[in-house]
Every structure is written in structure tokens, then in C-alpha cells.
Chain A
Amino acid sequence: MTEKYPIYLDYAATTPVDPRVVEKMLPCLTEHFGNPASRSHALGWTAEAAVETARAQVAALVNCDPREIVWTSGATESDNLAIKGAARFYRGKGKHLITVKTEHKAVLDSMRELEREGFEVTYLGPEPDGLLDAAKFTQAIRPDTILASVMHVNNEIGVIQNIAALGAICRSRGVLLHVDAAQSTGKTPIDLATLPVDLMSFSAHKSYGPKGIGALYVRRKPRVRLDPQIHGGGHERGMRSGTLPTHQIVGMGEAFRLAREEMTTDNARIRRLRDRLLHGLLGIEEVYVNGDLERRVPHNLNISFNFVEGESLMMAIKDLAVSSGSACTSASLEPSYVLRALGRSDELAHSSIRFSLGRFTTEAEIDHAIKIIEAAVQRLRALSPLWDMHRDGIDLNSVRWAAHG
């Protein structure tokens, strides 16, 4: 059997657009090209109907009212609109915000921006398993706390936060809760009819839809208000102006419809493959799983290969498309802030690889990946002075390392 190279195991970065989604998108670019805001002719009406169908499809996946869905350009914009929009609208009620150190940069950088405007932000550290402790979260709430932002599924380690519990705490204290759900749609159920969440960010391209489109859920009962961040024609009930990209929206709708229909079977298959990968990699000495294994989406496996540096490992496994928490793969030269927030040593953060599986991953790909990784780790450990020291029984923490120049 022939495999395609590289083997794609980076579905948490982005996914290919499902061919069934592409099929639905194409007519919107040619035949049905109308502006959904055009009320004066049939082309506009057709486009508007397509947009509303998609809105209902997105709402159906997360069990909310379609009128609670606002289209955006992606989860980054949704995070910005939710956090900056809510904080600025409710600034008269308080100036304190809460988030977590392992959030996506779209959340953390929005918080930083608000700090420059005079807001105060508490950045909570997660437990070593990556999960947020509800008691610590409760303690962080102040009388002037207006908004908390906690992601549903972490992009690096795949752990699922207990949003229901955190939302209940927020409700009881009159604090709005925003949840970044970019990594969770189609991977774990979301029921906004029961979840006490006020704002939730979605992305299409993490769930087999196109890039450049996302949505923000804005609760109607009790009603949540936002200061718009983009002003213009008053689209999306004034919360987000700009001509709606019909083809993108239709793509997101179809992607979310498929996610709803196929989530159960997809996840069962992907979990088997992920466990097969995990089992294979645990055959290698000195490997550590990052983040809780149980409260985690089935697609994600984040593993540190001790005594091997992540970037050189990625070079050695160039037939696999994966991500690393190594500093050397980032422009900042800092190892993954997520792994560091878990209390992982810099060494293990440097040695980490994120594998994320998806709809099109096959068993043959997983088996081949295991072989490639085993060989690469063996080769790089043969080159590693740290591996020799470990084999000689030297505790690397007892070594006085020369300061970096």
C-alpha cells in the first residue's frame, strides 16, 4: 500500500476542507454570488437564505438559537469581539477579568490589551494535568469581576475543562463566561441549552470547514451585550459589520452539520487510532504524556521524548506533519508556555511533540508514524550527551550547567 507524504498529524493546526463541504461552497462563488444584504432582488434573497440555513446548522451542533450566532472571520476575531466587546460594554460594572495561563494567544493578547486600558486581569495557572481547579477559580472572583474566559479544549494538550462547573460558579457570582471552543466542535458535545455559558467562539477550519470564517455565540436569555469592534453597515445586528462571505458561511454550516452527524462514529475511530499511537510510542523509554489522558479529546496526543530536542526530532520525522513545543520551532525561542504552565520542566517542553489525528487519518499511517518516530528517537539519543548521562545514572538536575551565553 502506498502512503501519502507527509503523513498529516496536525489536525489541531488546521484540517483539510471536507470534499462534501467544498461541493456546497462552489455554487456560492459563481451562480449564487449575491450579497446576502441585498433585499431588492432574488440573488440577495438566495444568498440570505443560504446564510440562514448555515446559521441554523451551526446552532444545531451546539444546541442554541440561530439568532445567537454572529459570523466572524474566525475564532481569533470571535475571542477579540467577546472579550474586548463585553469588557468595554460592562466596564461601568467593574474592571476585573479572569483567564487561564494556557489560553490561546487570541485570548491572552486581548486581555493584555484590556490591561493597557485600565482593566485588571488574573491569569490562573492550571493543575499539572492541565485542568483548572474550580476552587481556585472561585477564589479569584472579586466583587468587581465582570468576565472570565476559559477555553473548552486546549489546542496543545487537548484537555477538556469542566465548563459546566465553571459556568455555574460564574452564574452564581454574576460574572459573564466566555469560552473559546475552537478546538472542541465535533470532538466533544456542546449543549448551550444546559451549559451556563454567555459567549462562545467557534472556528470552521478546525472542523473540516474553510479558513477565514468563524462565529461567536452571544446568549440572548439572559441577554449579553457587546461593544462592536468592527463598525460599518450594521450587519449581524450591529455586532459585526462587513459583507457576509456567503461561500465561507455555507462551508462552515455544512462542516458543522457533518460534525453533528458523524461525531460519534468519527471519534470512536479516531480514539482507537490515537490509542494505537500512544501504545506504540509508550514502547520507547523515557516518554511522558503531557496533560490528562482521560479528560481529553480523542484526537490529541502530546508527548515529550526525554533527552531529545523537539526541533531536531521534527527534522528526523519530516515525513510526518506534526507540531512541537520546542523553543526552536518558535520565533521567540521560548518553549511552549502551555507546557510550562503545567509545571513541565523546560527540558520536557523542548522535547514535546503534538500529534493531532483527524477524519482522514488511517491505521497504516499511524503504524508507519510509530516506526519513523522510534527510529528517529533512537538515532537522536545516540547523538545526545544527556542520554549518555542518563544511562550512566547521572541526575541531570544535579548538574551545574554553564549559563547560556
Chain B
Amino acid sequence: MAYSDKVLDHYENPRNVGTFDKDDPDIGTGMVGAPACGDVMKLQIKVSEQGIIEDAKFKTYGCGSAIASSSLVTEWLKGKTLTQALEIKNTEIAEELALPPVKVHCSVLAEDAIKAAIVDYRSKRVPAGESRDANPEPRAATL
């Protein structure tokens, strides 16, 4: 598999690898994919009181392009509002990393991870009295 230099760079030097406390109310965690499919991405965002993503971290089990896709989105997420973050499309990720068609699903997974992390963050922010069921089911693994 011939990868682009950008994929190789993210793979060799992944940005923002790590873990936040998933129980922290400022943290949103998204875990997508499945081991049986060969890729699992865990993406975490740290959101400020103003609703800005201050920091992002990831851990990924998967091929080189899955690692690169998640590493790239942690860079893109920083400084964005949640609304801006939700506008990140898998096609932009695939284009930036020049993913071959067979690896496009890795970028889809990264987009899903962003959405799942935001859903998780928002579910923690539901004002008292409102039902949590109002939130859509996160597309994340449940323990």
C-alpha cells in the first residue's frame, strides 16, 4: 500500500496521543469501529465554558490511514466550536491525507468519532430536569 507523505508523517509522529478522564464533565468521548473490523478509534475532546474545543486526544487501533485520520482530526478540532467541529466532513479528511478509495472508510470513522464525542459531551451537559433520552444514541461503543 503506497501511502501519501502526510499519512506517513501522522503515522510516524502521531499528534495528541493520549487519554482524558472520561468522567470529567468537560470531556466528550467517542469510540467508534469494532475490533472485528480491524479498526477502533477513541477520540476525546476537552470543551471550554465558551463551547470551544480546547484540546483533543486520540487512541486508535487500526491501519496506518486510520491512525493518520484520527491524528489529523485532533489537530483540526482544536480551537473550533462544537458546531464548526460537526462540519468536518470525511471527504476533507480523505482529501487532506490523499487516502486511496479502499481507505476512505478510515476517514468516515474519524468523522463518526467527532460526532460521537460531541454527542457524549452534550449528554453530560443536559440541564437538570430534562430527560437524557432526548439525546440521540451515540454511535459509540458502550461498556
- Chain B residues whose CB sits within 8 angstroms of the CB of A315 once the complex forms: 3, 11, 63-64
Using CB atoms and an 8 Å cutoff, list the residues of chain A in contact with chain B: 307-312, 315, 326-329, 331, 333, 335, 345-347, 350, 382-388, 394, 396, 399-405
Quick one: CB contact mask for B27-43 with A, threshold 8 Å, 1 for yes?
00001111111111110
Q: Are A326 and B38 in contact, CB atoms less than 8 angstroms apart?
A: yes
- Chain B residues whose CB sits within 8 angstroms of the CB of A388 once the complex forms: 19, 59
Given the known inter-chain contacts A394-B143, A401-B34, A404-B33, please indicate yes or no for A385 contacting B40, CB distance below 8 A: yes
Chain A to chain B contacts (Cβ below 8 Å), 7 pairs:
A311-B38, A312-B64, A345-B36, A383-B60, A401-B36, A402-B32, A402-B140
Given A350-B35, A402-B141, 20 additional A-B pairs, CB 8 A: A308-B61, A309-B39, A309-B62, A311-B63, A312-B62, A312-B67, A315-B3, A315-B63, A327-B38, A346-B36, A350-B36, A385-B40, A385-B60, A386-B35, A388-B19, A399-B141, A400-B141, A402-B33, A404-B105, A405-B112
- Chain A residues whose CB sits within 8 angstroms of the CB of B105 once the complex forms: 404-405
Interface centre among A307, A309, A327, A388 (most CB of B within 10 A): A309
Complex Cα distance, B66 from A217, in Å, reads 47
Decide yes or no whether B17 CB sits under 8 A from chain A: yes
For residue A347, give the distance in angstroms from its CB to the closest CB of chain B: 4
Q: Are A386 and B61 in contact, CB atoms less than 8 angstroms apart?
A: yes
Complex Cα distance, B62 from A49, in Å, reads 55
Which range contains the number of B residues in contact with the other chain? 35 or more
Complex Cα distance, B60 from A47, in Å, reads 59
- Chain A residues whose CB sits within 8 angstroms of the CB of B139 once the complex forms: 402
Pick from A328, A331, A386: contact of B40, CB under 8 Å: A386
Q: Are A384 and B11 in contact, CB atoms less than 8 angstroms apart?
A: no
Decide yes or no whether B14 CB sits under 8 A from chain A: yes
Interface centre among A307, A311, A346, A400 (most CB of B within 10 A): A311
- Chain B residues whose CB sits within 8 angstroms of the CB of A346 once the complex forms: 35-38
Complex Cα distance, B34 from A335, in Å, reads 14
- Chain B residues whose CB sits within 8 angstroms of the CB of A329 once the complex forms: 1
Complex Cα distance, B37 from A335, in Å, reads 9
Given the known inter-chain contacts A346-B36, A347-B36, A385-B59, please indicate yes or no for A312 contacting B11, CB distance below 8 A: yes
Given the known inter-chain contacts A326-B38, A329-B1, please indicate yes or no for A384 contacting B143, CB distance below 8 A: no
Q: Which of B38-69 contact A (CB under 8 A)?
A: 38-42, 59-64, 66-67
Decide yes or no whether B142 CB sits under 8 A from chain A: yes
Complex Cα distance, B68 from A383, in Å, reads 12
Q: Are B67 and A383 in contact, CB atoms less than 8 angstroms apart?
A: yes
Nearest opposing residue in chain B for A404, CB measure: B37
- Chain B residues whose CB sits within 8 angstroms of the CB of A310 once the complex forms: 38
Nearest opposing residue in chain B for A334, CB measure: B38
Decide yes or no whether B128 CB sits under 8 A from chain A: no
Complex Cα distance, B1 from A312, in Å, reads 11
Q: Are B31 and A385 in contact, CB atoms less than 8 angstroms apart?
A: yes
- Chain A residues whose CB sits within 8 angstroms of the CB of B116 once the complex forms: 402
Q: Are B63 and A328 in contact, CB atoms less than 8 angstroms apart?
A: yes
Complex Cα distance, B116 from A401, in Å, reads 13
Complex Cα distance, B14 from A404, in Å, reads 24
Q: Are A309 and B37 in contact, CB atoms less than 8 angstroms apart?
A: no
For residue B15, give the distance in angstroms from its CB to the closest CB of chain A: 12
For residue B32, give the distance in angstroms from its CB to the closest CB of chain A: 5
